[in-house]
Structure 1
Amino acid sequence: MPSPSETSIFEKGRVAFLRIQALLGRTPGRYLYDLYRTEDEPSGYELTRAAGSWRNALLKMGVQRARPGGPRYTDEELLLSLHHLLLRTGAHTYLTTKKAAYHYKKGELLAHPATYILRFGSWEEALRAARSFGGNTP
């Protein structure tokens, strides 16, 4: 049986999770949960530590991910999104993963930079492919 403090952290986490889900219009993962939570709400780390894993934390909060693994995007969708971001930010600007994560948080990039790295092998390869995508080289 969970202790009262564990029950409290999971109840607070549930309220925060549902608030963030309504705000985003989709089910947040641990990364988005931490980006949008307030200081008085438990962090993803605290929930994971109390439950043993993020998945167990979701189960204890009584919420479910929309679909394991998140949304699936084609290479073309990812490259088009990155290509448009490069056009908006300008060709002279070197887009780092940190800057790209900021644009992802604002909803200006389809997926987190980690997705591009996993899909294309490196951030530089993703940038190279996006720059040549669609014929307009930024």
Structure 2
Amino acid sequence: MRRTGMLLAMTACVAVVSGCGAMPKACTEIGYVNTLTLEVAGAGAAAVDDLEWCVTGECAADALTEARGLGGGRWEVQTFAQTPHALTVVAVDASGAEIARVDVAVSWTGTDAPNGPGCDNASEAPTVTVPLP
């Protein structure tokens, strides 16, 4: 009887240990965002009331989040797990008229934070200047 109990306990331990190896990796963050700061510069910068930004011609709200004004000509945009290397930034005035449409390049750097090795990377990029006429 004692051997049977010991055998069952050992079998349970082996099952638990081997089961852990087969389980999928659990990542720490789901739904994190990648943030980019845009700095609007030039003669038309003072008239900018809003920014739209597009990736490969797509400016749809479901593809990207809206730009958020930080003041002083700086805007923050966020993507959900996207790291586009080229953006088209559309500056508009208070009436909604387009002031300028500018193509800019973005250099993203991936980090393991917050997800850790083996999970999707969060990315960051240096501030991108958007030159307006």
How high is the TM-score relative to the length of structure 2? 0.22
Q: Which has the higher strand share?
A: 2
Structure having the higher Rg? 2
Q: Tell me: higher relative CO, structure 1 or 2? Use CA pairs within 8 A at least 6 residues apart.
A: 2
